[in-house]
C-alpha cells in the first residue's frame, strides 16, 4: 500500500480515537488525553498511539493502563467507524516530547540569562564597527 494511504489511515485513526476517548471511555484513570500521533506498522497489523495526559491527576503509567484496558473497545469502534476490514491492534505509548521541549526551553532561557548577566558585568566598550577601511 502506498505511503499516502498509510498517512491517511494514521490521521483518521488519530481523529476518531481522540473523539472516542473523550466521549466514550469512562475509565477514571484516563481523564483528558491528547492523542499526539499514530504510527501504523507496514503490515497494518498494529498501531502505536502516542498520547499526553492533559491536566490529569493520574500519572502517565496509570493513564496508559486505563487506555490499554479500553483498547479492545476502542479497536472495535475504530473498525466500525472507519470501515476497516482489519483494524490494527492498538498500543498506547506515553509521548514525552512536550516535557523534552520544556526542558530545552528552560536550558535556553538559563543560557540567555547567563549571557545577559555576563554582559552586564563587563564594562561598556565601543561597538565594533567592523574591519578598518582603506583610504
Kindly state whether residue 18 falls inside one of the protein's structural domains.
yes
11: which 3 cell numbers? Answer: 490521521
* CA distances for 72 relative to 29, 55, 92, angstroms: 16, 25, 12
Range of the domain at 7: 3-98
Q: What is the largest CA-CA distance in the chain?
A: 82
Contact 35, 17 (CB under 8 A): yes
Kindly state whether residue 59 falls inside one of the protein's structural domains.
yes
Q: What is the pLDDT of residues 44-72, one digit of tens each?
A: 899 999 999 887 788 888 999 999 999 99
- What's the number of domains the chain is made of? 1
47: which 3 cell numbers? Answer: 498501531
Residue 73 Cα to chain centre, angstroms: 23
Q: Is the pLDDT of residue 106 over 60?
A: yes
3-class SS of residue 19: helix
Angle at 19 between CA 100 and CA 92, to 5 degrees: 45
CATH number of the domain within which 34 lies: 3.30.300.20
Kindly state whether residue 114 falls inside one of the protein's structural domains.
no
pLDDT for 54: 82
DSSP 125: -
Kindly state whether residue 13 falls inside one of the protein's structural domains.
yes
Q: What is the pLDDT of residues 3-49, one digit of tens each?
A: 888 899 999 999 999 999 999 998 888 888 999 999 999 898 999 99
Contact 34, 52 (CB under 8 A): yes
Kindly state whether residue 84 falls inside one of the protein's structural domains.
yes
Kindly state whether residue 125 falls inside one of the protein's structural domains.
no
Contact 16, 78 (CB under 8 A): yes
pLDDT for 123: 67
pLDDT for 16: 94
Kindly state whether residue 129 falls inside one of the protein's structural domains.
no
Looking up cell 484496558 gives 69
Kindly state whether residue 127 falls inside one of the protein's structural domains.
no
Amino acid at each position: 500500500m502506498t505511503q499516502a494511504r498509510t498517512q491517511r489511515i494514521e490521521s483518521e485513526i488519530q481523529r476518531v480515537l481522540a473523539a472516542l476517548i473523550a466521549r466514550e471511555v469512562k475509565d477514571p484513570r484516563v481523564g483528558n488525553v491528547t492523542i499526539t500521533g499514530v504510527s501504523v506498522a507496514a503490515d497494518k497489523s498494529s498501531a502505536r498511539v502516542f498520547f499526553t495526559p492533559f491536566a490529569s491527576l493520574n500519572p502517565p503509567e496509570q493513564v496508559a493502563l486505563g487506555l490499554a484496558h479500553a483498547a479492545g473497545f476502542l479497536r472495535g469502534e475504530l473498525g466500525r467507524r472507519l470501515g476497516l476490514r482489519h483494524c490494527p491492534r492498538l498500543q498506547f505509548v506515553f509521548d514525552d516530547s512536550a516535557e523534552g521541549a520544556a526542558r530545552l526551553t528552560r536550558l535556553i532561557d538559563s543560557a540567555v540569562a547567563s549571557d545577559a548577566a555576563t554582559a552586564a558585568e563587563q564594562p561598556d566598550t565601543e561597538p565594533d564597527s567592523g574591519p578598518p577601511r582603506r583610504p
